[in-house]
Structure 1
């Protein structure tokens, strides 16, 4: 596992850092055929737009910090959320504005390993000063095991298992 050594602000001891668990695209883009990706979709590091004949789907890249109960470091995810046209346009218009602060309603648009997703999870998307990626917070009232884990935290062993699973999946897809 690729790690980075750092002195923890929480306990003052040296730790090795965890890699972020990142998704390169929202599910909707991933599921498109190669031809559809060329013809109806546009994606870069921060934005994805899919122009279906009957609708347009808009996505932005965000981060989610999963609390780890028995460790000083959170597990970081790089995820995508879908936004309404109005919210997407506001975020895009203010993308280079370092002082822009806003909250949007969004839908989680990645299936996270280890969880079953029969429907998308509602989130609050919070932009960050300084042009950092927005942070997402799953709605606590939504009944899903990922939401429960987000709000209650996971163990260090579970976090490391998720990292190993992501590394293994990435190596298999290479």
Structure 2
């Protein structure tokens, strides 16, 4: 059975496990709108700023109790230039076995958590065109603990509501 819930804020029934996240890394907002076209290269999968800062979009998956599918944050991870180039070389291959994992830093602030910017991560490539898996380094941060231990369905609903509708 597929995950679904009725949102108490909008009244709609939402079907399927949510996959939420911004379309750009947080650092993209530090570049003025007038300069973004000249200084940034942006796609759905990666972003380069000033040919110096390299970001890849991945899925930070959190297991959900009694559900077959994980909840996913679509987040941005900063990589060093050599790891970014290795990711680019492997991203269109049907089989993406090593390279990686790549050490990176979360470049996405997520609602419902203490500040998530710059949490240490590992970016794992996956086959068949799937987004890379983002693993938060083990710490006491609530995001790392939830990725390790999982969450209840009610927490998914809470995160969805907060992300889509904002704080009450």
Report the TM-score, using the length of structure 1 for normalisation.
0.80
By how many angstroms is 1:47 displaced? Answer: 1.1
Query: In the alignment, what sits opposite 2:61?
Result: 65
Corresponding residue of 1:152: 149
Match of 1:48 in 2: 47
CA contact (8 A) 2:107 2:117 kept: no
1:31 Cα deviation from its structure 2 partner: 3.1
Structure 1 ranges of 4+ moved more than 6 A: none
* 1:34-88 deviations in Å (ceiling 9; x for gaps): 0231221110111100117xxx110011111111224443211111101110110
- What's the counterpart of residue 135 of structure 1? 133
Cα distance, 1:156 vs. partner? 1.0
Shift of 1:30: 2.5
* Unmatched 5+ stretches in structure 2: 4-14
Q: Is the 8 A contact 2:122 2:135 kept in 1?
A: yes
Q: Give 1:118 deviation, angstroms.
A: 6.9
> What's 1:91 paired with?
87
Q: Distance in 2 between matches of 1:162 and 1:68?
A: 12
Count of aligned pairs: 154
Please say which of residues 69-78 and 18-27 is displaced more in the overlay.
Answer: 69-78
Matched residue, 2:122: 124
Change in Cα spacing, 1:151 to 1:43, as seen in structure 2 (3 Å) is same
Q: Separation in 1 of the partners of 2:67 and 2:90?
A: 35
State yes or no: 1:164 paired with 2:161.
yes
> 2 CA distance for matches of 1:152 and 1:30?
32
**TM-score normalised by structure 2 residue count:** 0.82
SS at match of 1:94: helix
